[in-house]
Amino acid sequence: MKDIRRSTCGTAARLAGTSVLALGLIAGAAQAQGVTADSFGADFSAMGQLKDVAAKGKGKVGVLLPDTASSARYTSFDEPYLKKAFKAAGLSADDLIITNAQGSEADQLTQAQTDISQGATVLLIDPISSGGGAAVEKYAKEHGVAVIDYDRITLGGSRDYYISFDNEYVGELIGKGMEQCLSDWNIEKPNILVMAGSPDDNNATLFKQGYMSVLKPKFDDGSYTNAGEPAGTWDPSVARTTFEQQFTAHQDMNAVVTPNDDNANAVISYLKTLKVPPKAFPTTGQDATVTGLQNVLTGYQCGTVYKPIYLEAQAAAALALYMRAGDTPPDGLVNGKVNDSQGGMDVPSILLKPIWVTPENMADTVVKDGFVDTSKLCAGDAADACKAAGIGN
């Protein structure tokens, strides 16, 4: 083989050997590039490419989930999908620790400390707040443990990477969804209340940046009226109270940007007490909850942003496995940067693309992916709307 590589002349057979070797080296180099942010799908097959990486790694992976109050996703989807992703890559169940802090920053720090004491070399954290996340990351760094921010970035933190859906693009989808809905529902002289998520959640900030990038030009040129931008929250009861106060003060309001399905449902519940009919007062949302999807089907919500969590879980697991093995993740996996405004740095990131779901594509997205139980989705008032959307037939 040494002669083949170094010879500048020789027989055709030796030249052919050189070609074969070159092709082999190219194939090997391509394989070494690893998975990309676009590799993952619903079948989890891409994780099988990481078995050598998993076998090479040392230590455990600790996953720190935040709560069950802000969203049911963490127990229903994130935890089982993360387990499935790591298992598909060949990581032993004994090398994976998943905990949920149930909304307690103190418990999340304790869980991180426990994971590290049990041999974790990488932590995936979805921080309850940036302050709490920064404390976890400081402790991890002091103990030589790598950290990945999962779904929410820790402002002022010291993580190595961040993974989430492209949250500004989530907001753009909400803004464009509102724009389309105003047209489809024939809303004249749109007067829109702009609501937001909690101000201490950087994702909420990015969501709002996204939908304001769509709506502000319309406000500026007079096509739409901005009815107000009240303080944000992720608490549906607070969102309802805020909306009631704003609606009382702005009786000509006829649409509202709501940042997620739960807040949208709180608003819709109030609108229903006022006997507001379907397709008369647009709202928006994200998370593709059963209630949110039902509101979309029945004409009370324009659409909802669907974030296939199985993509996020696989990308996070892949990144954690590369870090656990001491390898630099492939360029195709880490496909963006997100600014940590408090830390004054751009954080290398994996940013995944979400989907705007309406009755027209619901069957081919959340239903096809098994993200929602159709027996629950199509119950009660949504039954006829499901049939019209080609769901459950």
Query: What pLDDT digit, counting tens, does each position of 175-210 carry?
Result: 999 999 999 999 999 999 999 999 988 889 999 999
pLDDT at 12: 38
Q: Which residue has the higher pLDDT, 13 or 99?
A: 99
Rounded CA gap, 377 and 356, in Å?
Answer: 17
Which residues have CB under 8 Å from 375's CB, separation 6+? 392
Classify strands 96-100 and 146-150 as parallel, antiparallel or unpaired: unpaired
99 three-class SS? strand
pLDDT at 393: 62
Query: What pLDDT digit, counting tens, does each position of 100-152 carry?
Result: 999 999 999 999 999 999 999 999 999 999 999 999 999 999 999 999 999 99
pLDDT at 203: 86
Least confident segment among 14-18, 162-166, 295-299, 314-318: 14-18
Q: Does the pLDDT of residue 346 top 60, yes or no?
A: yes
Query: Residue 98 corresponds to which tokens in the numbers above?
Result: 């998943």
Q: Does the pLDDT of residue 10 top 90, yes or no?
A: no
Q: Does the pLDDT of residue 238 top 60, yes or no?
A: yes
Q: Does the pLDDT of residue 22 top 50, yes or no?
A: no
Rounded CA gap, 385 and 294, in Å?
Answer: 8
Q: Does the pLDDT of residue 4 top 50, yes or no?
A: no
Alpha-carbon dihedral angle through residues 251, 253, 254, 255, given to the nearest 10 degrees: -140
Q: Which residue has the higher pLDDT, 19 or 374?
A: 374
Q: Any alpha helices (H) in 225-325, and if so which ranges?
A: 236-249, 261-273, 290-297, 309-324
249-266 exposure pattern, b = at least 16 Cβ within 10 A, e = fewer: eeeebbbbbbbbbbbbbb
Query: What pLDDT digit, counting tens, does each position of 290-325 carry?
Result: 999 999 999 999 999 999 999 999 999 999 999 999
Name the residue with tokens 């418990």: 107
Name the residue with tokens 């989930």: 65
Q: Does the pLDDT of residue 83 top 80, yes or no?
A: yes
Q: Does the pLDDT of residue 30 top 60, yes or no?
A: no
pLDDT at 118: 98
The whole-number average pLDDT for the span 220-237 is 97
Least confident segment among 15-24, 49-58, 192-201: 15-24
Rounded CA gap, 65 and 103, in Å?
Answer: 9
Query: Is residue 73 very low, low, confident or very high in pLDDT (cuts 50, 70, 90)?
Result: confident
Q: For the chain, give the percent of residues with pLDDT over 70.
A: 91
Dmax over Cα atoms in the chain, in whole Å? 89
Work out whether the CA dihedral 109, 115, 121, 126 comes out positive or negative: negative
Contact 273, 240 (CB under 8 A): no
Contact 370, 344 (CB under 8 A): no
pLDDT at 33: 54
Name the residue with tokens 């190595």: 160
Query: Is residue 392 very low, low, confident or very high in pLDDT (cuts 50, 70, 90)?
Result: confident
Average pLDDT, the chain: 91
pLDDT at 296: 98
Q: Does the pLDDT of residue 240 top 90, yes or no?
A: yes
Contact 147, 137 (CB under 8 A): yes
Give whole-number Cα distances, 109 to 97, 127, 131, 187, in Å. Answer: 14, 10, 11, 49
Query: Residue 242 corresponds to which tokens in the numbers above?
Result: 């805020």
pLDDT at 46: 97
Q: For the chain, give the percent of residues with pLDDT over 90.
A: 86
pLDDT at 335: 94
